[in-house]
Structure 1
Amino acid sequence: MALPLDLESLTEALSGNLGMGVDENALISKLGKSHKDHRKLFRKASKSFFVEDEERAFEKCHDHFVRHLKLEFSRFNNAVVMWAMHPWERDARLVKKALKKGEEAYNLIVEVSCTRSAEDLLGARKAYHSLFDQSMEEDIASHVHGPHRKLLVGLVSAYRYEGNKVKDDSAKSEAKFLAEAVASSGDEVVEKDEVVRILTTRSKLHLQHVYNHFNDIKGSDLLGGVSHSSLLNEALICLLKPAVYFSKILDASLNKDADKTTKKWLTRVLVTRADHSDEIKDIKEEYNNLYGETLAQRIQDKIKGNYRDFLLTLLSKSD
């Protein structure tokens, strides 16, 4: 008979509260080769995974354990499927998912529209046409109600100039307008046509100049909170400092107290940015600056199995 199961290492392989993903190699070597009597001992000893049905004399899985395992096994599969997709389709599906989830997920629309190149965002709109038989702009306009509709439609409709020319006088006058709009409008600033025009049509380099002039005029950081509208603030940080935005998203996803939705951000960010080596380098550098450790080490410590190895492979593409 095979040796009794190492309960501690098997519990760790199944993850539980010890991280994301499962240690497939440990499961093969320990659980796959185990004797049925030893699996019974494992079930009896693992009260967090199984509950004893004394009347019928067997150990049954807790429902939460079944759901947990399905989710953890799916992380690697989902990452591979996303990675295999054309980037345009991937982004189109992310926007569609955000619309289905509702207001709590609108930040994902901001992320896609503000951190992609002009060509990639145009490609995502083309893919949206192909996949869903309607335009991305049309779908957003029909689903989003309230003050954020104008901003979101404008952001996804953008085809920003990506050259090096900036009209500094225009940047300075727009910064002055923003400073006055913020002071007089408060949270309603997101509903002003001129604010939306600036954020949705200007190049990212131009917006950097607007940002610098705004800070000089106001004596405070535009990213410190142009309003209490988190969506507007996220648009600004995505446009102006995407490496900071992604670093914060990644750190939140790796937090031990993160919910299952937040944990999914890890896959999304690494899969969508891995082919952009300059961006990944900036993200890794910013993450290290913000949190005092490398992103690779954090993933190594928090993630398990094939999922961890795949993420680290994606992360290493920029090395």
Structure 2
Amino acid sequence: MSGLGVDEQALISILGKWHPEQRQHFRKGTRDFFTEDERQFERWNDRHILQLRHEFLRLKDAIVMWTMHPWERDARLLKEALYKGPQYNVLIEIACTRSSEELLGARRAYHSLFDHSIEEDVAFHVHAPEKELLVAILSSYRYEGPKVNEETAKLEAKTLSDVIGKKGLDKKDENVVIRILSTRSKLHLKAIYKHYKAITGKYLDEDLEGDLRLKETVQCLCTPEKYFSQVLDASLGYNVDEISKEALSRVIVTRATRI
């Protein structure tokens, strides 16, 4: 980094081949750029983030996100999503496509970086009806073992079909849906998704067309490949807005190590 721009092609060629362990070694070895946070992650020096973004002509967001510790990256994405709109889909995406440990790490990093909890900021910046859903899924710590109680999954699929089949969810019904989506394991929710289709003839997210946030939550939890495909399709369309363009870098970087 010379202060007069960088050799983007060479740097991208090198960084793009690094595994997570190599990126961690880089962060630990470049103390001018990263410092060790008390919550056990290496955090970017804010001044150097601005410098790097200034020197790159293209792909600056992707390069910064790629080298960040995943906890810090998600924390900064959450913060940005809250203050740009807010962008509910990004909050849902991070809450529902990360493992329990990854989400816990992002919450710790958020607290360290911004001196607030993500739950506090969501409660302050987001209004009903989205607030209850977002606080619930962002504060969730799900069981990630292999066990699924199929009978319970069937019963809860029936419960969901009963409440969603009504004309509009009232507060009580919405709380039932949020409770199931925010407390059950992803394998359990996928079993519910399967049984819901058997009961109603339609997929759960199809029956939630009238509630975009619940629909996105179900897709991120049960069919993330479907959700991310839709986000990428929107970002690659003709004459898309800046937020949709930013989604391309976000999705590619955050999903690259999960392929």
Superposition TM-score, scaled by structure 2 size: 0.75
1:197 maps onto 2:184 in alignment: no
**C-alpha deviations, 1:207-226, integer Å up to 9, x for none?**
01111111111121212132
1:144 maps onto 2:126 in alignment: yes
Does the aligned pair in 2 maintain the 1:190–1:196 contact within 8 Å? no
Secondary structure of the 1:184 match is coil
Matched pairs, number: 210
Residue of structure 1 equivalent to 2:67: 84
Note the C-alpha offset of 1:186.
1.9
Q: Identity across aligned pairs (percent)? A: 52
Q: Partners in 2 of 1:114 and 1:129 — Cα distance?
A: 19
Gaps of 5+ in 1: 1-23, 26-69, 281-319
State how 1:202-213 maps to structure 2 within 5 Å: 202-213=184-195
Does the aligned pair in 2 maintain the 1:186–1:227 contact within 8 Å? no
Which structure has the larger Rg over C-alpha atoms?
A: 1
Q: Partners in 1 of 2:242 and 2:125 — Cα distance?
A: 25
The match for 1:163 among 141, 145, 161 is 145
State how 1:16-31 maps to structure 2 within 5 Å: none
Residue of structure 1 equivalent to 2:116: 134
Does the aligned pair in 1 maintain the 2:236–2:245 contact within 8 Å? yes
1:230 maps onto 2:241 in alignment: no
Note the C-alpha offset of 1:77.
1.7
Q: Report the structure, 1 or 2, having the larger helix content.
A: 1
Secondary structure of the 2:59 match is helix
Residue 78 of structure 2 aligns with an amino acid whose one-letter code is V
Secondary structure of the 2:237 match is coil
- Seen in structure 2, the aligned counterparts of structure 1 residues 211 and 162 have a Cα distance that, compared at 3 Å, is same
Note the C-alpha offset of 1:191.
6.1
State how 1:107-126 maps to structure 2 within 5 Å: 107-126=89-108
- Seen in structure 2, the aligned counterparts of structure 1 residues 189 and 252 have a Cα distance that, compared at 3 Å, is farther
The match for 1:179 among 161, 174, 191 is 161
- The answer to which structure, 1 or 2, has the higher relative contact order (CA under 8 A, 6+ apart) is 1
Q: Partners in 1 of 2:148 and 2:101 — Cα distance?
A: 20
Does the aligned pair in 1 maintain the 2:164–2:207 contact within 8 Å? no
Secondary structure of the 2:132 match is helix
Residue 195 of structure 1 aligns with an amino acid whose one-letter code is V
- Seen in structure 2, the aligned counterparts of structure 1 residues 90 and 167 have a Cα distance that, compared at 3 Å, is same
**C-alpha deviations, 1:299-318, integer Å up to 9, x for none?**
xxxxxxxxxxxxxxxxxxxx
Note the C-alpha offset of 1:184.
2.0
Query: Which moves more between the two structures, 234-243 or 184-193?
Result: 184-193
Q: Partners in 2 of 1:75 and 1:203 — Cα distance?
A: 39
